[in-house]
Amino acid sequence: MVNPEYELHRDEFLYLDQAFHPAAGYISVPPFTSWIAAIIQLLGGGLFWVRFFPALFGTLTVVMVWFLVEELKGGLPAKMLASVLLIFSPFSRLNILFHPNAFDILVWTIIFYTLVKFITSQNNKWLLMSGVICALAINNKYTVFFLIAGLLIGLLLSSQRKILTHRYFYYAAGICLLLILPNIIWQANNNLPVFHHMKALNESQLSHISHAEFLITQPRFLMFGVFPVLAAFWSFIFYKPFRQFRFIGITFLVVLTLFTLCRAKSYYALGLYPVLLAFGSVYPERMIGKGRVVVFSLLGGLSMGAFLFLGPYIMPYHSPKYIAENQEFYNKMGLLDWEDGSQRQLPQDFANMTGWKELAAKTREAYNQIPDKEKQSTLLFCDNYGLAGAINYYNRDKVPEAYSLSTDYIFWIPHYPVILNIIWIGPEPDSTTLNLFRSVHLKGKIENKYADEYGTRIYLLSQPKTDVTPVFYKMIEEKKKAMDIF
């Protein structure tokens, strides 16, 4: 479902670079993604392994839903229906990208599973396991705090409030706190950069999302899975064996409300649905009786058919040229609407998966034109993290590491004793920067018109008029102070 014309996504380059800068935290994400990135790099760092891990996490989510159905005493038809509804849905789109999202959905599902297992077995190990999984989830993505808040409220407002008085619940909380402590310390030592990241995210993306838009887009992720989700809620209210799990329905409503109020991205809530698909498959299986095979086959078949029709549009299946020339259906589905409120010729994720190899090749050409004796005093400096990450991924060990003042790269900039040349990748440098050098040459630009970075330029700044090294590092310190880090 991924056309070979597409490369890695800009965010993937950042996460892969984190493997070379191990830490207990990052501006953009907690450390879990960097741990997986390190494994990918140990395996060679190739495209196969980058795509393998999100696919693995998506597969394990299906497995966990299968186990959930089994725990609820569901049969093979319910297991197959829940699995089909997960696989043949927009969930699969998240599982082609090396982002925290695929693992996020998996751990949300496991958290629900451990609580269901505890309620059905009263085995304390499942509460302890929930603490471990919560820690992994927090170390992966901070949005899980919305789930934790929802669960606390859901348990408090349901018959399962007794869990909150169980001593193993507090043991689990202690285990979780212990496992996330390194990240808490890192955040504290660096003046909580997560809040800077959240502020930047809100200003650049979330402010363009309306409250209604978040709610309206939720059914799109489920397609025909909407019916089992509705069935799950019905079962929490009217089906006696499932009333003990009402806290799950309350949690869903609380988390969805919190996300709506915060103008969250629509896919943030996807971790809520696998558990509902499990309940919503088991309940009708019991109620329908002998006709369940026919009903489930119809529902599963419709889901598969819809995905086979829509999949080539919601996945990067068609080439950029095809999409640019056939925009009507993409436009009707809202796939050309970007997070900054604009509308463009390609879906945002697809445009962020093109032009990177061209950029890396042209940057390497510019670097190779520098005299050998000056190469160790040459800095590759980019306008944003996507540019820096792509250059590092495709040019590792061929050119020096590229840096930027955006996201985590500002942490990683080393101290050069002397800077003689700067390869500047981005828009034209400002006049203050240009006046520092006698020679400014445009060495190339991204000419792929479908790329998000189309037109991005590569300049070689050389023959400094003065010692630019202190000037450069002063700029870095001013940026850090503005970000209120360190």
Contact 276, 230 (CB under 8 A): no
pLDDT in tens, 7-29: 999 999 999 999 999 999 998 89
Of residues 424, 430, 433, the one with CA closest to residue 471: 433
Token duo for residue 43: 């395996």
Helix residue spans in 22-142 (DSSP H) = 32-42, 47-71, 76-87, 91-94, 101-121, 125-140
Distance (Å, whole) CA 71 – CA 49: 32
CA distance to 46, 114, 210, 265, 316, per residue, from 96 (Å): 14, 27, 27, 18, 10
Query: What does the alpha-carbon distance between residue 477 and residue 415 come to, in Å, rounded to a whole number?
Result: 12
d(C-alpha 99, C-alpha 103), whole Å: 8
Residues with Cβ within 8 Å of residue 238, at least 6 apart in sequence: none
Tokens 């190469």 found at = 375
What's the CA gap between 107 and 118, in Å, rounded? 16
Global pTM exceeds 0.75: yes
**Percentage of the chain lying above the pLDDT 70 cut:** 97
SS3 462: strand
Q: Give the Cβ contact number of residue 343 at 10 Å.
A: 11
Pairwise CA distance, residues 196 & 198, whole Å:
5
Averages of pLDDT over runs of 10 residues in the chain (486 residues) are 94 96 92 97 95 97 97 94 92 93 97 97 96 97 96 96 96 97 92 74 62 80 88 95 96 94 87 96 89 86 92 94 93 86 89 96 95 93 95 94 91 90 92 90 95 95 91 85 62
Quick one: pLDDT at residue 486?
Answer: 47
Question: Are the C-beta atoms of 450 and 7 separated by less than 8 Å?
Answer: no
Q: CA-CA distance, 186 to 373, in Å (whole number)?
A: 39
The mean pLDDT of the chain is 92
User: Torsions phi, psi of 318, nearest 5?
Assistant: -80, 150
Q: State the burial class of residue 266 (Cβ atoms within 10 Å of its Cβ: 0-12, 13-18, 19+).
A: middle
Q: What amino acid is encoded at 214 in this protein?
A: F
Of 20, 36, 9, 277, which is closest to residue 141 (Cα–Cα)? Answer: 36
Tokens 């002397």 belong to 418
Token readout for 141 is: 């993505």
Each residue's pLDDT tens digit, 102-126: 999 999 999 999 999 999 999 999 9
What would the two tokens of residue 287 be? 């109620």
Question: How many CB atoms neighbour CB 176 within 10 A?
Answer: 21
If one counts every other C-beta atom within 10 angstroms of the C-beta of residue 325, the result is: 10
Looking at residue 202, its pLDDT comes to: 62
- Write out the two tokens for 474: 């002063």
CB neighbourhood size of 374 (10 A): 12
Q: Which residue has the tokens 């990177």?
A: 356
N-to-C CA span, the chain: 43
Give Cβ neighbours of residue 371 (< 8 Å, ≥ 6 apart). Answer: none
Q: Cβ neighbours of residue 482 under 8 Å, at least 6 residues apart?
A: none
Distance separating alpha carbons of residues 78 and 290, to the nearest angstrom = 13
CA angle in degrees (0–180, nearest 5) for 242-243-249: 90
Predicted pLDDT of residue 294: 86
C-alpha distances out from residue 423 to 122, 147, 381, 413, Å: 62, 44, 6, 15
Q: What are phi and psi of 2, to 5 degrees?
A: -115, 115
What single letter denotes the amino acid at residue 342? Answer: S
